[in-house]
Structure 1
Amino acid sequence: MKYYNNILETIGNTPLVKINKMCKDVDALVLAKIETTNPGNSVKDRMALQMIEDAEADGRLKPGGTVIEGTSGNTGMGLALACIMKGYKLICVLSDKQSKEKMDILRAVGADVHVCPTNVAPDDPRSYYSVSKRLAQEVPNSWYVNQYDNPSNAKAHYLSTGPEIWEQTEGKITHFVVGVGTGGTVSGVGKYLKEKNPNIKIWGIDTYGSVFKKYHETGIFDENEIYPYITEGIGEDILPKNVDFSVIDKFEKVTDKDAAVYQRKLAKEEGIFVGNSAGSAIKGVLQLKDELTKDDVVVVLFHDHGSRYVGKMFNDDWMRERGFLDEEKKNAKDLIKDHAGKHLVTVTTENPVSQAILLMNQYGISQIPVVGDNGFEGSLTDNILFAKLCENPELKELPVKHIMGAPFPIVSETTTIDNISKLFQEGAKAIIVKYDGDKHHIITQQDMIKAIA
């Protein structure tokens, strides 16, 4: 009979699959290392087991102990499987940007889940780094995994993932491409492959809002590079010890939108249902295609499974809200579709200027139509208000009609985007759309930017 003694024995030996449609214009052979066939559906199963077994071996993790880790979800799943089989408790600390599916899955396999705010500094006591460390001090007989600095992370990929790729490509691999987060995968695989052939190129995929690319190129840790981003599982606002920059030849950044769009393309065009970082990785390959030749063999690693992103990147409403869904917009009605159900904010000619300022602040808008007995009779913009009030601050108590500019142009719902663009180029600050009979809404320059981006 052929069977495994437990689920942990099924970790590894994941397949290489050729990317066809999406890489038809790439000269090289592009192969995906599909890590979703691991039992926890991600590459992190490999290092989770390695870290636990190494901690058992040297006494850091004792029988009946509690494992504590800050995770984006996938490492937590790998740790959960190991903890179940080995009899440990597990506490996972996640940031609130991680998908609900990841949190639910961790709870389903018995983990105690703590959720922390994303938009705080790493040393903030509320960050998931800080909370993990605090819990490790408070919980008796516990061990803090610290995948970012734990050398067993990279070791797992040096011992398993790297050798698998080398054997599966019969040593013909020329490029390895992977999203970089904790650094374990890129560093472990990169070290192994370069020992086999120093000419193999290791390309790390980064995201905007992360520090990796600039630090690799300049040696400067630039805090101005750090800002919130949506892409999950890659990029960092710290420099984990597991990132061995010496084995990485190049970093390439991919936008949040492209990561999401190309994640969906992998599902629809290749039948490969994988996670957010896979979208970043394949888009990174396409961005760098001019550096590849017909003799190259590129292995791009896909970290995790698409089921963890059903409520986010695979949800049309979620994508649409962020401007990630590429829907062709042809006319004025298409431009206002996302906010046509909202109330059009206006002021009357007799309202005091202070009321207009209050409404603009309340709704976060920079322009507002002015209505009177004859319909739309004027407009206010933040530029007009600033200029006029600088000249005479007392104007804010006068009726709007004393300070308003010309009314915004009015177009029908069928007016083309090209014609609307011309109105903006001629100096219009906003445009009013008449639609569904007698309804009106506003098109701003920001709406146009989203439509053509």
Structure 2
Amino acid sequence: MMGSSFLRVEQAFERVLRRTPLRRIQMSLRGRAVSFGLKLEECGTARSVKSRTAVGLLSDLHRESPLVPGTVVVESTSGNLGLAMVHLLAGIGCGFLAVVDPKTPQATRRALLEQGARLVVVEEPDEQGGYLSRRLEAVRRILDEHPDYRWPNQYENPANPEAHRISTGPEITEQAGADLGAVYVPVSTGGTLAGIAAHLRAHRPDVRCVAVDVTGSVALGGAGGRRLISGIGAGRRSVFLRGDEYDHAVHVDDAEAIAVCRMVREDLGRTVGGSTGCVLRALLDDVTVGSVAGFPVCLAADGGTKYADTIFSDDWAREQGIHADIGAAVRRWRAAGLTFRVSG
């Protein structure tokens, strides 16, 4: 049984690791045209970069002790990792318990339930106004009550960055080619950035690695605060990032990132998640000051369809008090001539 289960997990690993496309986009800003790459992780098996993370974590969990049918895996998630986990676990007859919070989009919750996951929703925020520490407390309580449940622990397991060192990083460098000049990566657990950075340091040390976080997150250090965009940022510092993995760190304002997401939708007809808005906004800063060298690539961690009731909703933006800020940001960038179009 162990061999059969192991084979199913490994086959799932191979499916998830199919290449996701790198789309070449041309940005026009203040009369200058800049080409960049958008690495579209929504084209992966579970529709986000967390597909790779989930496979790495579950494979590691299985090597530790077989994931036999009936095993229940529990994990704290803001959404994407949970979707990837339930997709993979259902294929090998295992259950999944997702510990989420009020910021998890309703569309994501529905998708988790439809795929067979059970949900525990943590309602009480922590001292910083986020939910991560409360979610982790809930996971530990669940494990105390059910010691046979398994916890991959995406926040501390080295299998998280390793998955991106062996897959995401090599794909980016191969697809972008010799002209690759920089990679902009959103940060939550820090595993994606740490893995990509490890590959770049070993194989393309000339490439600039930019860590992109959202204002109010402490994933890269600093003081915490209110955060509205899910899928990026964290209420505690990443254990995978010491600071020497990346060349530059940027914290992006929620409203600015959402404004970029909306402009991308208008220009390209493509919806992207809030973390992608953050990395594109970070790229805009570098384009503005003329610090972009070579061909930059932005990691688009997921698509935007599940955020229709949040970052693409005017009603939600008004409830959060940022509707006017989003509109002002769009008008400012449009006045500067910002447009996006598919290149080539």
More deviation in 277-286 or 55-64?
55-64
Q: Which residue of 1 aligns with 2:80?
A: 74
Matched, 1:189 2:187: no
Q: Which residue of 1 aligns with 2:208?
A: 201
How far is the alpha carbon of 1:195 from its aligned partner? 0.8
Q: Which residue of 1 aligns with 2:297?
A: 299
Q: Which residue of 1 aligns with 2:240?
A: 242
How far is the alpha carbon of 1:27 from its aligned partner? 5.9
How far is the alpha carbon of 1:253 from its aligned partner? 1.1
Matched, 1:174 2:174: no
Q: Which residue of 2 aligns with 1:324?
A: 323
User: CA offsets per residue over residues 278-320 of structure 1, 9 Å max, x none?
Assistant: 1111011101222434x51101001112111011111122123
Q: Which amino acid aligns with 2:120?
A: H
Q: Alignment partner of 1:178: what SS?
A: strand
How far is the alpha carbon of 1:124 from its aligned partner? 9.0
Matched, 1:164 2:171: yes
Determine the C-alpha separation between the residues in 2 that align with 1:312 and 1:27: 31
Task: Give 1:65's match in structure 2, choosing from 54, 68, 71.
Answer: 71
How far is the alpha carbon of 1:141 from its aligned partner? 1.9
Task: Give 1:52's match in structure 2, choosing from 52, 55, 58.
Answer: 58
Q: Normalising by the residue count of structure 1, what TM-score does the alignment of the two structures yield?
A: 0.65
Determine the C-alpha separation between the residues in 2 that align with 1:151 and 1:23: 40
Determine the C-alpha separation between the residues in 2 that align with 1:282 and 1:181: 16
Matched, 1:113 2:119: yes
Q: Which amino acid aligns with 1:165?
A: I
Matched, 1:94 2:100: yes
Q: Which residue of 2 aligns with 1:9?
A: 15
More deviation in 319-328 or 203-212?
319-328
How far is the alpha carbon of 1:26 from its aligned partner? 5.9
How far is the alpha carbon of 1:272 from its aligned partner? 2.3
Determine the C-alpha separation between the residues in 2 that align with 1:126 and 1:145: 16
Q: Which residue of 2 aligns with 1:211?
A: 218
Determine the C-alpha separation between the residues in 2 that align with 1:246 and 1:126: 26
Determine the C-alpha separation between the residues in 1 that align with 2:73 and 2:38: 32
Q: Which residue of 2 aligns with 1:85?
A: 91
Determine the C-alpha separation between the residues in 1 that align with 2:259 and 2:28: 12
Task: Give 2:309's match in structure 1, choosing from 287, 302, 311.
Answer: 311
What is the RMSD computed on CA atoms of the aligned residues?
2.4
Q: Which amino acid aligns with 2:262?
A: R
Q: Which residue of 2 aligns with 1:269?
A: 267
Determine the C-alpha separation between the residues in 2 that align with 1:247 and 1:7: 26
More deviation in 254-263 or 71-80?
254-263
User: CA offsets per residue over residues 19-72 of structure 1, 9 Å max, x none?
Assistant: 224668666531110101012110000110111011111217455311100001
Matched, 1:129 2:136: yes
Q: Normalising by the residue count of structure 2, what TM-score does the alignment of the two structures yield?
A: 0.84
Could you list the runs of 4 or more consecutive aligned residues of structure 1 that deviate by over 3 angstroms after TM superposition? Answer: 5-8, 21-28, 60-63, 121-126, 325-328
Q: Alignment partner of 2:91: what SS?
A: helix
How far is the alpha carbon of 1:103 from its aligned partner? 1.0
State the identity %: 27
Q: Alignment partner of 2:98: what SS?
A: strand
Count, aligned residues: 314
Matched, 1:19 2:19: no
Q: Which amino acid aligns with 2:217?
A: S
Q: Which residue of 2 aligns with 1:401?
A: none
Task: Give 2:47's match in structure 1, choosing from 18, 28, 41.
Answer: 41
Determine the C-alpha separation between the residues in 1 that align with 2:32 and 2:168: 25
Q: Which amino acid aligns with 1:287?
A: D
Q: Alignment partner of 1:301: what SS?
A: strand
How far is the alpha carbon of 1:172 from its aligned partner? 2.6
Determine the C-alpha separation between the residues in 2 that align with 1:82 and 1:111: 11
- Would you say the 8 A contact 1:93–1:132 is kept in 2? yes
Aligned pair in 2 of structure 1 residues 87, 284: CA closer, same or farther (>3 Å)?
same
Q: Which amino acid aligns with 2:94?
A: Y
Aligned pair in 2 of structure 1 residues 166, 137: CA closer, same or farther (>3 Å)?
same
- Would you say the 8 A contact 1:61–1:142 is kept in 2? no
Determine the C-alpha separation between the residues in 2 that align with 1:100 and 1:301: 24
- Would you say the 8 A contact 2:15–2:45 is kept in 1? no
Q: Alignment partner of 1:187: what SS?
A: helix
Determine the C-alpha separation between the residues in 2 that align with 1:132 and 1:26: 50
How far is the alpha carbon of 1:110 from its aligned partner? 0.6
Q: Which residue of 1 aligns with 2:277?
A: 279
Determine the C-alpha separation between the residues in 2 that align with 1:26 and 1:137: 58
User: CA offsets per residue over residues 216-244 of structure 1, 9 Å max, x none?
Assistant: xxxxxx4xx11221021112221232235
Determine the C-alpha separation between the residues in 2 that align with 1:114 and 1:171: 46
User: CA offsets per residue over residues 325-376 of structure 1, 9 Å max, x none?
Assistant: 5558xxxxxxxxxxxxxxxxxxxxxxxxxxxxxxxxxxxxxxxxxxxxxxxx
Q: Which runs of 5+ in 2 are unaligned?
A: 1-10, 329-344
Aligned pair in 2 of structure 1 residues 29, 148: CA closer, same or farther (>3 Å)?
same
- Larger RCO: Structure 1 or Structure 2 (Cα < 8 Å, ≥ 6 residues apart)? 2
Q: Alignment partner of 2:120: what SS?
A: strand
More deviation in 238-247 or 15-24?
15-24
Q: Which runs of 5+ in 1 are unaligned?
A: 216-221, 329-453
